[in-house]
Structure 1
Amino acid sequence: MLNELKRKFKKFPITISLIGICVVVYVISFVLFGEEMNTQEGLVMGAYNPLYVYYKHEIYRLFTANFIHFGLLHIAVNCYSLYGLGMFIEASLKTKKYVIVLLISALATTTLPFLLFLLNGFGAYSVSGGISGVIFGLIGALGALALKYRQVFMDVFKQLAPNVILMLVISFVVPSISMSGHLSGLIGGFVSTYVILNIKPKKKDPYRDLVN
């Protein structure tokens, strides 16, 4: 198993590292608070809340919130989703572009809801965290890839579409899940990937021969 993990890390270093960070942060929260955290404990670990960002100037929460999880099921589902989808997008975009998409997706997950808070007080008392916004960002990235390279990625996107719809429905129905965070991550991932794919490449487009 250790050899398999080393092989995966060598091939997909960013995705495996991202999962590793989430696991380490969860272990810390487990030691401090047990298997599940409440909202107050989540805030101690760096969860997102617009009041803390605005009044206490704790800007770091816009980023750290992506790496905390409120329970074992929460982190298990997210890491499982990130494992498969993340490796696929990492292989498709390559390291530098993948990192850019991850960062923009992570920041969009919290920054767009924060902008809504500044406009109309949206989500003033919400406390959120988790890597699921980034996962939605990767779904958005896959959508951008499918839009530009239909013959290569459209079938994969169609296979994933029902799961995406289900995840969005769950986000809407379950109050403890941040619908705005998921949608914001999705938008961030799609837009950043679409822009990256349409910047004139210095090297040969790796998918050009497959779609022409």
Structure 2
Amino acid sequence: MFLRNESFKEFLRFYPIVSGLVALHLVLWFLTDFLQLGFAIGLERWGIGLNALVLNGEYWRLVTPIFLHNGLGHAFFNSFSLILFGPALEQMLGKVKFSMMYLFAGIIGNLGTFLINPDSFQPHLGASGAIFGIFGVYVFMVMNRKDLIDAANSQIIMVIFILGFVMSFRPGINIYAHLFGLIGGFAIAPVVLRNARSFSLWQVRAKYARSYDDHEVRFDPNRWQKRRRFGGVNGKNILWGVIIFLVVLSLFGRFL
């Protein structure tokens, strides 16, 4: 469930929302922090979270900070969390419900930050509140929908959730976005999990295989060899190669 066994091509096809969010994080970082383009920096200033400006009527700042990050390390680790924990939930909920849950949790995280200190000029940004909303849905599963998650994955999610929550108390971390994002995800879970089914990569592959066959029927005697080549070890190496590259790049990014 949380081990990525898809090829890079499969990942993009099976999980378009998660893929799009990760791409958006990295593109915005590239434009604002790396290239430092004027229009991109202006966009970041327009969208960054500032509670005092929200109080002044700039309500879009409850939404836009979800997609902005402070440096590559910040963008990468939130994107990495999405890559690990988002795909299963996207397939279980579907694209529309997953998007709704993600935005709802992120907005609740920013709204909670605003309500705690509405006069603050301290900027805040990042997808952490929305990602903790994903954890909130999983925690709801562990407590109330055990038919959707097995014991092994329940242990994984609880351990990582506890570690992530403890680390939220480090200096410079917006603990309120994490806490309220978690609450938002947990609160909306009963709605988005209605009619949900447990995650199965085999079922996902079968679904897309049927979709392909419905549009075009063809016989390829090398079909299974190609599947092993592109959907197996080599495919996983591509995905993890990208992840390792981003880790190294993020480390260098701290010294730029």
Structure of larger gyration radius:
2
Change (3 A) 1:45 1:70: farther
* Per-residue deviation, residues 19-76 of structure 1 (Å, max 9, x unmatched): 111111111112218xxxxxx9996162211011112x22111111111111121111
Higher mean displacement: 161-170 or 176-185: 161-170
Shift, 1:159, TM fit = 1.2
The total of aligned residue pairs comes to 188
The alpha carbon displacement at 1:10 in A equals 1.4
Give the % identical residues.
27
1:167 equivalent to 2:164? Answer: yes
Structure 2: runs of 5 or more not aligned: 1-6, 199-256
Equivalent residues in 2 for 1:82-93, closer than 5 Å: 82-93=82-93
Q: TM-score, normalised by structure 1?
A: 0.79
Change (3 A) 1:189 1:101: same
**Cα distance change of structure 1 residues 6 and 154 upon mapping to structure 2, 3 Å threshold:** closer
Structure 2: distance between partners of 1:96 and 1:146 = 23
In 2: Cα distance, 1:25 partner to 1:159 partner: 31
Corresponding residue for 1:13? 16
Deviation at 1:18, TM superposition (A): 0.9
Given the superposition, is the C-alpha separation of residues 73 and 45 from structure 1 closer, same or farther in structure 2, using an over 3 Å criterion? farther
Q: Residue 134 of structure 1 aligns with which residue?
A: 130
Greater relative contact order (Cα < 8 A, sep 6+): 2
> 1:68 aligns to what?
68
Counterpart of 2:249 in structure 1 is none
- Partner of 2:168, secondary structure, is helix
TM-score (normalised: structure 2): 0.66
One-letter amino acid of the counterpart of residue 111, structure 1: L
Counterparts of 1:159 and 1:77, CA distance in 2: 18
| Matched ranges for 1:166-185 at <5 A | 166-172=163-169, 174-185=170-181
What is the RMSD of the two structures over their aligned residues, measured on CA atoms? 2.4
* Distance in 2 of aligned mates of 1:197 and 1:148: 11
**Long gaps (5+) in structure 1:** 34-39, 208-212
Q: Is the 8 A contact 2:109 2:130 kept in 1?
A: yes
